[in-house]
């Protein structure tokens, strides 16, 4: 299918309590590549090995852990302007502003807005392409399947976030009716199953690019997820995390929702990470998969079919 409009998740900026322990975790254990530093704003920029754009993960030292914002790459400057106008006219968002070119290194101007669940989102059209290290002298001529020198877990790319917030209905309306996302899966509750308590949204052909869970909070961060190539690599990630004495939350296991194979763990500031593989191909004509609250254990943890309360209640 032709991808237009919003192409993919482009970046996530995560607040960490101490920058250097966080960099060690994301660079040396998770295996992202450090690309740049911003000493003035206490930020470090990183990327997965198979991402061609300059960066996708930003760590910012702060007094409280959590999510600063999530960014989305769009297909053109014209689309950026159009969607900015559409968001403004929708009346669904607050705190609309333009972030100037260069505030992120090698990145054009960004349009920032706060969605109904209280999360800050951004759209942008340009980021310098630096390649994935598989080509010849930086181009894509006769590439190798992977670069030399991978280390740590070495995910292919930043993939998605799961976020907690109160106004799930307004956020789903924004993503589906204004930004053009599809609803791949949902979780429902209530006597007649009409209350949506979870939404898994996609802008491409993945099971989800972002997911939201209804909670009586604003702007909370459950996890950032990174893609691996196989179930075997997820198991290997568990070995690496144990070797580095990283706090493991759940897994390795499988989801019912999205069919992904997964392991969850924490960075030194308490932010949850996930690495996963698998899933299915989504197309816009695919029926929405619905999970009921009664089967939420199976939906989240397919192998043991039981809910883990800490998994649901711990977030930053």
* pLDDT tens across the length of the chain (316 residues): 468 899 999 999 999 999 999 999 999 999 999 999 999 999 999 999 999 999 999 999 999 999 999 999 999 999 999 999 999 999 999 999 999 999 999 999 999 999 999 999 999 999 999 989 887 555 667 888 888 889 999 999 999 999 999 999 999 999 999 999 999 999 999 877 789 999 999 999 999 999 999 999 999 999 999 999 999 999 999 999 999 999 999 989 988 899 999 999 999 999 999 999 999 999 999 999 999 888 877 888 877 887 777 787 889 9
122 CB-side CA count, 13 A: 26
Q: Do 185 and 286 touch, CB atoms closer than 8 A?
A: no
Distance (Å, whole) CA 164 – CA 214 = 6
What is this structure's pTM? Answer: 0.95
Q: What are phi and psi of 83, to 5 degrees?
A: -65, -35
Total Cβ atoms within 10 A of residue 312: 14
Domains of the chain from N-terminus onward? 6-124 (3.10.180.10), 157-313 (3.10.180.10)
Q: Which residues contact 143 (CB under 8 A, 6 or more apart)?
A: 134, 135, 136
The CA-atom distances, in angstroms, between 72 and each of 75, 304, 305 are 10, 35, 33
Distance (Å, whole) CA 277 – CA 262 = 7
Catalytic residue list: 160, 208, 223, 255, 264, 274
The partner residues of 11 in beta bridges, in order of sequence, read 71
Residue 253, Ramachandran bin (φ over 0: left; ψ between -120 and 50: alpha; else beta)? beta
Lay out the sheet containing 120-124: strands in order across: 33-38, 43-47, 57-61, 6-16, 66-74, 120-124, 110-114, 94-99
């Amino acid at each position: 299918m032709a991808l237009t409009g919003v192409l993919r998740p482009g970046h996530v900026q995560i607040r960490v309590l101490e920058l250097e322990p966080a960099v060690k975790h994301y660079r040396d254990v998770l295996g992202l590549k450090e690309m740049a530093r911003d000493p003035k704003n206490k930020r470090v920029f990183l990327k997965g090995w198979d991402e061609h754009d300059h960066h996708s993960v930003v760590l910012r030292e702060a007094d409280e852990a959590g999510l600063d914002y999530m960014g989305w790459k769009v297909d053109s400057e014209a689309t950026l302007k159009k969607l900015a106008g559409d968001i403004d006219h929708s009346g669904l968002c607050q705190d609309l502003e333009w972030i100037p070119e260069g505030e992120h290194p090698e990145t054009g101007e960004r349009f920032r807005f706060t969605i109904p669940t209280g999360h800050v989102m951004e759209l942008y059209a340009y980021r310098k392409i630096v390649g994935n290290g598989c080509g010849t002298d930086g181009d894509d001529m006769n590439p190798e399947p992977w670069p030399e020198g991978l280390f740590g877990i070495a995910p292919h790319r930043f993939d998605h976030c799961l976020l907690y917030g109160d106004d799930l209905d307004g956020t789903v309306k924004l993503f589906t009716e204004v930004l053009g996302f599809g609803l791949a899966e949902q979780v429902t509750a209530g006597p007649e199953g009409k209350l949506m308590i979870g939404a898994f949204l996609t802008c491409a052909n993945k099971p989800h690019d972002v997911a939201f869970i209804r909670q009586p909070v604003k702007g909370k961060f459950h996890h950032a997820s990174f893609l691996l190539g196989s179930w075997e690599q997820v198991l290997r990630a568990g070995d690496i995390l144990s070797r580095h004495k990283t706090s493991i939350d759940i897994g390795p296991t499988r989801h019912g929702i999205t069919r992904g194979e997964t392991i969850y763990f924490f960075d030194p500031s308490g932010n949850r990470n996930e690495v996963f593989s698998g899933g299915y191909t989504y197309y816009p004509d695919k029926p929405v998969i619905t999970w009921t609250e009664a089967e939420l254990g199976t939906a989240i943890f397919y192998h043991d079919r039981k809910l883990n309360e800490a998994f649901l209640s711990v977030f930053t």
